[in-house]
Structure 1
Amino acid sequence: MKILGHYEELWLEHAGIPDGKLQDFTRETGVPDEDQIVQYLRDGEELFSAMGTVGDILGSDERILSGDSVLTDGEWVWRGDLWFYLSRYHVCLPDEFLTRVREHRYALPALDEARLLSLSDELHEIL
């Protein structure tokens, strides 16, 4: 399991060493296919559902529904608010993840129940 958007403000210490602070990954403009990547993130399979909203930690007054939820594509896991930070602040994501998304033509791969249960167990260890 790989954590996408492993910023110190968004994940607990149990999750391991973060990539750094979220603000250090923001950019002025996004990649040309950013909208499709945002949709991929929004379409992820939920491993952990959190009701409610979370605030934008970078300072806008916006609230993100289910931002504390955790989603997956079977290889990567990410928070439910990562799509927001990508669309609003154009956060830089790892090339390895972007390559995977593009190779799958922006569609989540099919996941079987056994894989989702395995990832859920791994996630439980770090939450």
Structure 2
Amino acid sequence: MKILGLCEELWSAQSGAAKTNLRDLAREAGEDDEAALIGYLDGGYEILSFMGSVNDLLGSDERILGGDNILTDGEWMWRGDLWFYVDTYHVSLPDEFLQKVRSRNYVMPEVSREDRLAVYEEVRHIL
């Protein structure tokens, strides 16, 4: 399973070596299709849910409801607050992910219950 937004602030060291930090991914402007990308992120299958909210790690006073939740599309997994960072700070996403989402016309693929359970088991071992 590939981790989207693998930044030192968002994921524990158990999930792998973070290649960057969140602030380094922030940009002045987003992708032309940023709204569709945010919709895709928000429409992922929820694998793990936590009650509560998290602080914006880049400094605003915003709190993000469900920010610690983990979502998936069956190939990638990401935190529930990733949409916020894409929307607010235009955080860049990997080209591999962007190409896949665009090839799907921003439609979340069907992910079977068995595949979602497999992702859950993987997530349990890295959190």
Q: Where does structure 2 lack aligned partners over 5 or more consecutive residues?
A: none
Tell me what 1:103 maps to.
Answer: 103
Is 1:120–2:117 an aligned residue pair?
Answer: no
Alpha-carbon separation, structure 1, partners of 2:82 and 2:19:
14
- Match of 2:123, SS state, is helix
Superposed CA offset, 1:7-46 (max 9, x none): 1011111001012110000000000000000010000000
SS of the residue corresponding to residue 60 of structure 2 reads coil
The corresponding residue for 2:42 is 42
- Identify the residue that residue 76 of structure 1 maps to in structure 2: 76
Q: Which amino acid aligns with 2:76?
A: W
Partner SS state of residue 40, structure 2: helix
Q: TM-score, normalised by structure 1?
A: 0.98
Residue 13 of structure 2 corresponds to residue 13 of structure 1 = yes
Q: Secondary structure at the match of 1:97?
A: helix
Residue 4 of structure 1 pairs with residue 43 of structure 2: no
Q: Alignment identity in percent?
A: 53
Letter aligned with residue 116 of structure 1: R
Specify the code of the residue in structure 1 equivalent to 2:46: E
TM-score scaled by length of structure 2: 0.98
- What is the one-letter code of the residue matched to 1:31? E
**Displacement over 3 Å in runs of 4+:** none
- 1:19-38 to 2 correspondences below 5 Å: 19-38=19-38
The letter for the 2-side match of 1:80 is G
CA RMSD of aligned residues (A): 0.5
